[in-house]
Structure 1
Amino acid sequence: MVPSVSPADTISHRILHVFRAPVGGLFRHVVDLARLQAAAGHAVGIVCDATTGGERAVQALSDLAPCLALGVTRIAMRRNPHLSDLACLRAVAARADAVAADVLHGHGAKGGVYARLAPAAAGRPMIRAYTPHGGSYNYRPGTLLHRLYMGAEGILARRTDVFLFESEYVAGRHRAYVGSHGRVGRIVHNGLSEAEFAPVTPSADPFELLYVGELREAKGLPVLLQALARLRAEGREVRLLMVGSGPDAGLLQASAEALGLAGAIAFEPAQAIRPVLARGRIMVVPSFAESLPYVVLEAAAAAQPMVATDVGGIPEIFGDAAGDLVPARDPVALQHAIARVLDEAPERRRARFQALSDSVRQRFSMERMGADVLSGYAAAFRARAGRPALPAEPGRVEPA
């Protein structure tokens, strides 16, 4: 059931969400927003890539179709900058014009480029919203790519009416490396539904460790494999279930074999997370960089024991328990953190992660996420009209 959301103002908007890949947490965020906004009386549509996501994306978009009064448009989009981006910009502009969109909301680096640079029809009022999902903000400061992308973000900021940051971490990176351009800004944390806090019944023979997400080096998976090898060298019969897909799947399988872990790891394709949580005792999130990952929120909501790195917005999720996080890129620290949770008394472990679940329930509401996005749109329209802004609420930041 989708929580009801009161519109931020009395106007019904025509909202077009633009993003690249219909996979992962970004896609989930857009799907949740589309349902919430449709329930609040707005007309919603999607423009996304036609070449990624496979059958899972096709099914998810089909399930979402009743909420999409403005439909779904899929075009070929490349992950990295390419000449074909010009054709994509024209396609996004044409779609926005065809459905008379008054909100063009870009998600992620590529969606943010298209939503902010697509030309608008003359005389049609339209705001451009941008939600970064980590991406270009996660490059190491001082590197060439970081300077390049932050320079591009500075240019694009001038064509942004409202920034909707999903974490305080990304908002801080924006302020530090892009600067303030007087635009409206909000921190809008990803939200969860009440059903996601229901207990998960463990399977009969769970894996000791579980990873769910992209199979990509930046997710810290080589470090996880090293930590697993160290745990097994101690004599622990620890097994790992890895669920997901990505460009480094082959390399990871080869690394597992080289470390003598082939029989200790099971690789499975991407699938719904809650049934998977039942098949692992401890979720491990060894990422090198993140914004506000849904996989951590979802595991925390289900009171799943978890070991995660101290990066990006993960400390915002853990709150008072952020001291339990481990440094990234450190297989020894990861090994010791996993061992501590494995050896912890079951009653104490259950109490710790139930407390985290209770904390997440208080702070990461899907209903609030939907309302805060609409509030951001309304503030941007007020700014466009030269009307005074309403006082910012706690947890929000203005300007960006």
Structure 2
Amino acid sequence: MATYKVLQLIGGGEIGGAEQHVLTLLQGLNSTSLSLTSGCLVAGPFAKLTEELGIPTLLFPMKHALDLSPLPRLIEAIRREKFSLLHTHGSRANLLGRLAGWRLKTPVISTVHSSLRQDYLSPQAARLALTLDRITLPLTSGIITVSEALAQEVATRGGQRIRTIYNGIPSLPQLDSLEKRGNLRQCFRQKWQIPEGTLVIGSVARLHPTKGLSTLLEAARILRSQFPSIHILIIGDGPLHSELQNQAKALDLPLTLAGYLPDAYRALPAMDLFVLPSVSEGMGLVLLEAMQARLPIVATTVGGIPEVIRHNQDGLLVPPEQPKALAESCAEFLKKPDFAASCIASGAKRWQDFSVQEMLRQTQDLYGEVLMI
């Protein structure tokens, strides 16, 4: 059987949900018929990780988001390595990958992980990204979106041949027993000097405006009158680090900004309640990890989140940027342990609907259609 070579192209300046998704493809789709290579546009942590894992990795460093200077090197690498398909992830990869694919008549599939409208700190940058996406969308042979909400958004930009394939998550054996979760709880609370008995409300997210973390801090301020031992724990890094620190200080609110943490799901048991207060969210893969960690979940009604969390069944959903509503839903779980337990039990089953095996199968099926295997 012929082996088709696929280049997974991504920025790789951080290790977030999109990078974790690409890593799953790189490790899960290699077979007798498919051979996958990682391509990064930033000499950052993702390239380092894939190299350490022994995954073939190519670098095409961009100086800035509109830098087209790596394009000739990318085209040369596609020719040299005889890639049959390019699979792009993110604005930078979409721009370079689609142009290279068009130049060489190599098919390109793009996965849309998040809303372009909300991904940028600058409105001007967002408008430019949307314009470039509209121009290059016709150069794709297929588009994957990680939620139906994103599929609708991409369709409004002229996207065609769109298929929703939900992100999948493996079983996390580190979280599969009360004893293991208890040990991790103690370990990470000690690591961050959070006293046992403290009520920890946490999140795992980039420190970026689109994640709505300032709303979480405002909600915590409201909650503190009822729950004085409250402590906020946020795992992740990003441009709002100092701003969030200053906001917590102004609110006199205990806050731990843990920074980037590999395998962050291992620290979830340190939390008593998980909150994803996003203003925009492609799907919210971390919600499936929080379900495995047996945490009650409060999240916002944006993007693909309502496709994952069923309100009043797997967790509670609130409108974005409304700290009072967020605080009230958190308080509902904290005051009603039986209700929290019911949602936790439902979530422990719900995450299994989003399996890695199904994601890989559907992705490979689309590859086969595009390559006519």
Common fold: TM-score over 0.5: yes
Aligned to 1:155: 135
| Conservation of the 8 A alpha-carbon contact between 1:35 and 1:64 | no
CA contact under 8 A between 1:215 and 1:245: conserved in structure 2?
yes
Question: Match for 1:371: what amino acid?
Answer: R
Question: Where does residue 308 of structure 1 map in the other structure?
Answer: 299
2:346 aligned with 1:366, yes or no? Answer: no
Aligned-residue offset at 1:144: 6.9
SS at match of 1:15: strand
One-letter identity of the residue aligned with 1:226:
E
Q: Which amino acid aligns with 2:20?
A: R
1:49, distance to aligned residue in structure 2 (A): 3.2
Structure 2 counterpart SS, 1:86: coil
Match of 1:90 in 2: 72
32, 37, 62: which is aligned to 2:51? 62
Kept in 2: contact 1:170–1:291 (CA 8 A):
yes
Does structure 1 residue 23 correspond to structure 2 residue 15? Answer: yes
Matching residue of 1:77: 62
The answer for the alignment partner of 1:259 in structure 2 is 251
3-state SS of 1:29 partner: helix
SS of the counterpart of 1:267? strand
Distance 1:323 1:304 in 2: 9
Alpha-carbon distance change, 60 to 354 in structure 1, aligned in 2, over 3 angstroms: farther
State the AA in 2 paired with 1:161: S
The reply on whether 1:273 has 2:255 as its aligned counterpart is no
Matching of residues 83-232 of structure 1 within 5 Å: 85-118=67-100, 126-138=106-118, 148-175=128-155, 177-181=156-160, 184-195=161-172, 198-199=176-177, 201-202=181-182, 203-204=185-186, 205=196, 207-232=199-224
| Contact 1:31–1:64, Cα closer than 8 Å, also in 2 | no
Which amino acid letter does the alignment assign opposite residue 116 of structure 2?
A: S
CA shift for structure 1 position 58: 5.6
1:341, CA displacement in angstroms? 1.2
TM-score by length of 2: 0.86
- Partner amino acid, structure 2, of 1:179: G
Letter in 2 for 1:94: E
Q: Distance in 2 between matches of 1:351 and 1:322?
A: 8
Aligned letter for 2:307?
A: E
Q: Does the Cα contact within 8 Å between 2:40 and 2:47 map onto a contact in 1?
A: no
- 5+ long unaligned stretches in structure 2: 187-195
State the one-letter code of the partner of 1:281. D
Q: Contact 2:41–2:92 (CA<8 Å) still a contact in 1?
A: no
Deviation at 1:357, TM superposition (A): 2.3
Do 1:129 and 1:163's aligned partners in 2 also have CA atoms closer than 8 Å? yes
- The Cα offsets for residues 148-186 of structure 1, whole Å up to 9 and x where unpaired, read as 5444323212100011111111101112x21354xx332
Residue 311 to residue 304, structure 1, CA distance change in 2 (3 Å): same
From the superposition, tell whether residues 40 and 260 of structure 1 become closer, same or farther in structure 2 (CA, over 3 Å).
farther
Q: 1:215 to 1:121 in 2, by over 3 A?
A: closer
Answer yes or no: is 1:350 the counterpart of 2:341: yes
- CA apart distance, 1:18: 0.5
Partner of 2:189: none
| Counterpart Cα distance in 2 of 1:43 and 1:75 | 20
Contact 1:185 1:376 in 2 (8 A): no
The DSSP-based 3-state class of the residue aligned with 2:69 is helix
- The offset of 1:139, in angstroms, is 6.8
TM-score, with structure 1 as normaliser: 0.81
Superposed displacement of residue 351, structure 1: 2.6
Computed over aligned residues only, the root mean square deviation of the Cα atoms, in angstroms, reads 2.5
Q: Assess if the C-alpha contact under 8 Å between 2:8 and 2:39 holds in 1.
A: yes
| Rounded Cα–Cα distance in structure 2 between residues aligned with 1:108 and 1:192 | 20
State whether structure 2 residue 30 is matched by structure 1 residue 38: yes
CA distance in 1, matches of 2:2, 2:333: 50
Q: Show CA shifts across 1:274-328 (max 9, x none).
A: 3211111111111100101221121123332111111111111114647820100
- Structure 1 residue 29 displacement after superposition: 0.2
Structure 2: distance between partners of 1:236 and 1:154: 50
SS of the aligned residue for 1:163 comes to: strand
| Partner Cα distance (2:32, 2:89) in 1 | 20
Does the residue aligned with 1:96 lie in a helix, a strand or coil? helix
Q: Tell me the percent identity.
A: 24
Aligned to 1:332: 324
Amino acid at match of 2:171: E
CA contact (8 A) 1:137 1:173 kept: no
CA distance in 1, matches of 2:284, 2:32: 26
CA–CA distance in structure 1, aligned partners of residues 61 and 159 of structure 2: 33
* 1:120 CA displacement: 6.2
Deviations 1:345-365 (A, max 9, x none): 2x432231121220220x211
Deviation at 1:112, TM superposition (A): 1.3
8 A contact 2:144–2:164 mirrored in 1: yes
